Chains A and B, each alone.
Chain A
Amino acid sequence: MDLRFTPEEIAWRDEVRTFINENLPPEIRERMRLGYAPTKQETITWQRILNKKGWACPGWPAEFGGAAWTPIQRMIFTEENQAAPAPELNGFNITMLGPVLAHFGTPEQKAYFLPRAANLDDWWCQGFSEPGAGSDLASLKTAAKREGDFYIVNGQKIWTSTAHHADWIFALVRTDPNARKKQEGISFLLIDMKTPGITVRPIISIDGSHHLNEVFFDDVKVPVHQRIYEENRGWDVAKYLLGNERTGIARLGKSRANLNFAMDVARNVRAGGAPLIEDPGFRQRVAQIQVDLKALELTQMRVIAAASKKSDGKPDPFSSILKVKGTELLQATSELVMDTGGPMAMPIWASELNALGNEPIAPEWAGYMAAPYLMLRAASIYGGTNEIQRNILNKAVLRL
């Protein structure tokens, strides 16, 4: 048993760090350091740089551009990328759709979609949740009726992240409304967002950002050859997708970046006549977060080490621990960031500043302090709520 990185792993970390330092455009890094979510163009720019290097789709099979990294190498890459901070790879393209296409796709589907997904020529979004199908995803109702070589799709998806950026959507639709079990009768379709009959409506979230959408389908014609895997077997595809690629689910690099940002600001703001960073209460919170980060870092290594040993391809129920504890840390660190801002966390400076012609009237960081806190309340809701993760732990491990 040895916790330390091997010399090879350290060399790999240094290689990744050096590449990011030399190739990540500084203006992207600076905006992200201030807590901005990357823009669409920033994500595309960075993913294309990585793709050119052969690092955009490391988890895919080698024939489609995969890098055959070990799970540890992958973890190191993900964390270095998050901590930079650099835009994360488009997860819909890389960790969700890519492996599904590689596993279930026809040769034609693979040849067309995979290279475009790697290079972010197509921006994908995910059409799973519906107003009546959240945690209980299999009760989805969006209908796809077969008519010759087409499906006619009618219904509504919701909470669709980046649908307003997307060129394509992969969606779960009901192709057999009379199926015996609700999990049966679902199919997995790839749909071009430019198809007539699709309407995207923004949902503005509590941080003021436009990230989420509703997507409406009104007699949308989808060629049958855009179905993945067999008709009515879409639930198998969805399960494969959701179980795939759990490395990075803890997003430790992001929590570290939040903590570093809070500490940076705390060195420069005063509280009680001294830098905030010297305040015992502030320090205590930082120390507790550091302990929790360390524990999760190790738990994540244990899960990853176990993953490199097993070959059954089944998801490790312990990744639910990574999800719950990782999102708790995202929330704790973003709350620390907000509290570090003090009263300066309250105004929405960005829009005010724009209205005033970008004259600097407050410290650079003010106005970005509360947005991650607001946005990351979603972390314990998305990707299977933290309560659903506890159900998974019970079903797979505790068996009560």
Chain B
Amino acid sequence: MDFDLTDDQKLLTDSVSKLLADRYTFEARKGFQKQPEGWSPDMWGQFADMGLLGLPFDEAYGGFGGGAVDVMLVMEQFGKALVLEPYLATVVLAGTALRLAGTEAQKSALLPEIVGGALKMAFAHGEQGSRYDLSDVQTTARPAGDGWVLDGAKAVVLHGGSADKLVVSARTAGDRNDRDGITLFLVDADAKGVGRRSYQLRDGTRAAEVSLSAVQVGADAVLGRVGGAYPVISRVVEAGISALAAEVVGGMDKMLDVTLEYLRTRHQFGKAIGENQVLQHKAADMLMSLEQGRSMSMLAAMMVDEPDDAERERNIAMAKVGVGQAGKFVSQNAVQLHGGIGMTEEYVIGHYFRRAMMFDHSFGDTAYYLAKLASQVQ
């Protein structure tokens, strides 16, 4: 058991942190948000140059052969700066699907493109009726000639609007909630029959509603085994949870810092409000929540590649609950301790608050995972 970072990992953390401190100020971020994509292609190029886009991929594809801990370190820094770019969608979600299920040909064609920054991808799985149930897929794919034809709709596809290629799940057999019979397809975002309506989420990042209407794809578009995508989807979501958990930890870290600074400088009744013990204790509670959340984020990262399915799923579920609850506690109290200014669009805290809020609704909320854990109690 050890919690040490390698020299490479320390270097990675420092360089990402430095880049973001220089280039990703709160003001700069507002500018990025106004760009057509809703994020900065220039920063995306910087991430590519630094090797961040190739972090979890094998060296054979131009990657750096890193693991979930490396992704965790990067995401934590991203969380501190509220990074808008489609790293989670492209590198973590679609990237994990490709890593786990891609053929040699698919990986050699796509991964180097991701690593270089040219290819953005999105993971189009959830549907309006599916809530958090990963096996609830109504989009269909039926065989046609050598290939397939897809019909259906995907909801809240993170960065679906700026993606060049989508990983789409569709039912090729079975009933609505069956785990068997789901297949993943690689679909060009501008293919005939693909409709995308892009919009902003509550936290300022982008997502899209994707419609698929008689979309034709070839046999080589199938990612993984026909009808056997469920375990892959599940692993993709776990990787997503791990990465997002780290992002929330970075955000909590920042929220606590900003709040402490406010408590030191805001004066009422002739003294800094941080001199009030009731506020000191609230801040201590935030610190404890943050550190418990950080522990759970580490747990998630270290469990993402655990081969024992039950062990991995259980620990990731616990991490999701732990980080979700910590994120809620820290963000709610960050707003509370700021008072009125914490409610404003103009000030930073509300933006972190909304990011933490999004986490709970991504890939299953606290109630969902607590119920899942509860069902295993016997």
Q: B163-204: which have CB < 8 Å to A? A: none
Query: Would you call B89 an interface residue if the criterion is a C-beta within 8 Å of the partner chain's C-beta atoms?
Result: no
Known: A1-B2, A72-B1. A325 touches B378 (CB 8 A): no
Q: Are B377 and A277 in contact (CB under 8 A)?
A: yes
Q: Are A318 and B291 in contact (CB under 8 A)?
A: yes
Query: Would you call A53 an interface residue if the criterion is a C-beta within 8 Å of the partner chain's C-beta atoms?
Result: no
Which of A278, A295, A389 contacts B296 (CB under 8 A)? A295
Residues of B within 8 A of A398 (CB): 260, 280, 283-284, 287
Query: Beta-carbon contacts of A309-332 to B below 8 Å, as 1s and 0s?
Result: 000000000100100110000000
Q: Are B370 and A287 in contact (CB under 8 A)?
A: yes
Residues of B within 8 A of A324 (CB): 288
Residues of B within 8 A of A2 (CB): 1-2, 302
A299 to B302, CA, bound (A): 14
Query: Would you call A11 an interface residue if the criterion is a C-beta within 8 Å of the partner chain's C-beta atoms?
Result: no
A5 to B302, CA, bound (A): 12
A295 to B284, CA, bound (A): 17
Query: Taking the nearest CB of chain B, how far is it from the CB of A328, in angstroms?
Result: 10
Q: Are B281 and A299 in contact (CB under 8 A)?
A: no
A196 to B64, CA, bound (A): 75
Query: Would you call B298 an interface residue if the criterion is a C-beta within 8 Å of the partner chain's C-beta atoms?
Result: yes
Query: Would you call B4 an interface residue if the criterion is a C-beta within 8 Å of the partner chain's C-beta atoms?
Result: yes
Q: Are B288 and A325 in contact (CB under 8 A)?
A: yes
Known: A294-B296, A298-B299, A400-B264. A5 touches B373 (CB 8 A): no
Query: Would you call A390 an interface residue if the criterion is a C-beta within 8 Å of the partner chain's C-beta atoms?
Result: yes
Residues of A within 8 A of B35 (CB): none
Query: Would you call B3 an interface residue if the criterion is a C-beta within 8 Å of the partner chain's C-beta atoms?
Result: yes
Query: Beta-carbon contacts of B305-318 to A below 8 Å, as 1s and 0s?
Result: 00000000001001
Number of interface residues of A (CB under 8 A): 44
Nearest B residue to A328 by beta-carbon distance?
A: B288
Which of B280, B299, B318 contacts A390 (CB under 8 A)? B280
* Interface Cβ pair total, 8 Å cutoff: 129
Known: A294-B296, A318-B291. A390 touches B370 (CB 8 A): no
Residues of A within 8 A of B318 (CB): 290-291, 294-295
Q: Are A391 and B280 in contact (CB under 8 A)?
A: yes
Q: Are A400 and B69 in contact (CB under 8 A)?
A: no
A283 to B372, CA, bound (A): 10
Q: Are A390 and B373 in contact (CB under 8 A)?
A: no
Query: Taking the nearest CB of chain A, how far is it from the CB of B235, in angstroms?
Result: 19
Residues of B within 8 A of A263 (CB): 377
Q: Are A390 and B281 in contact (CB under 8 A)?
A: yes
Known: A1-B4, A280-B374. A394 touches B284 (CB 8 A): yes
A9 to B2, CA, bound (A): 12
Query: Would you call A296 an interface residue if the criterion is a C-beta within 8 Å of the partner chain's C-beta atoms?
Result: yes
Residues of B within 8 A of A400 (CB): 260, 263-264, 272, 274-275, 279-280, 283
A277 to B375, CA, bound (A): 10
Query: Would you call B103 an interface residue if the criterion is a C-beta within 8 Å of the partner chain's C-beta atoms?
Result: no
A263 to B279, CA, bound (A): 38
Which of A9, A290, A325, A397 contacts B1 (CB under 8 A)? A9
Query: Would you call A181 an interface residue if the criterion is a C-beta within 8 Å of the partner chain's C-beta atoms?
Result: no
Query: Would you call B105 an interface residue if the criterion is a C-beta within 8 Å of the partner chain's C-beta atoms?
Result: no
Query: Would you call B322 an interface residue if the criterion is a C-beta within 8 Å of the partner chain's C-beta atoms?
Result: yes
Query: Would you call A305 an interface residue if the criterion is a C-beta within 8 Å of the partner chain's C-beta atoms?
Result: yes
Residues of B within 8 A of A284 (CB): 370-371, 374
Query: Would you call A288 an interface residue if the criterion is a C-beta within 8 Å of the partner chain's C-beta atoms?
Result: yes
Q: Are A294 and B1 in contact (CB under 8 A)?
A: no
Known: A294-B296, A298-B299, A324-B288. A286 touches B281 (CB 8 A): no
Nearest A residue to B290 by beta-carbon distance?
A: A321
Query: Would you call B285 an interface residue if the criterion is a C-beta within 8 Å of the partner chain's C-beta atoms?
Result: yes
Q: Are B280 and A299 in contact (CB under 8 A)?
A: no
Among B69, B370, B376, find the residue whose CB has the most chain A CB atoms closer than 10 A: B370
A107 to B374, CA, bound (A): 57
A299 to B299, CA, bound (A): 10
Nearest B residue to A5 by beta-carbon distance?
A: B1
Among B293, B370, B374, find the residue whose CB has the most chain A CB atoms closer than 10 A: B374
Query: Beta-carbon contacts of A322-358 to B below 8 Å, as 1s and 0s?
Result: 0011000000000000000000000000000000000
Nearest B residue to A3 by beta-carbon distance?
A: B302
A69 to B262, CA, bound (A): 44
Residues of A within 8 A of B9 (CB): 1
Q: Which 3 A/B pairs are nearest by Cβ-Cβ distance?
A: A298-B295, A400-B274, A287-B373
Binding site for B on A (CB under 8 A): 1-6, 9, 72, 263, 277-278, 280, 282-284, 286-288, 290-292, 294-296, 298-299, 301-302, 305-306, 318, 321, 324-325, 387, 389-391, 393-394, 397-400
Q: Jot down 21 A-B pairs with beta carbons below 8 A, ordered by A.
A: A2-B2, A3-B302, A3-B303, A72-B1, A277-B377, A283-B377, A287-B370, A291-B322, A291-B370, A291-B373, A295-B322, A298-B296, A299-B292, A302-B291, A305-B1, A306-B3, A321-B287, A391-B280, A400-B264, A400-B272, A400-B274
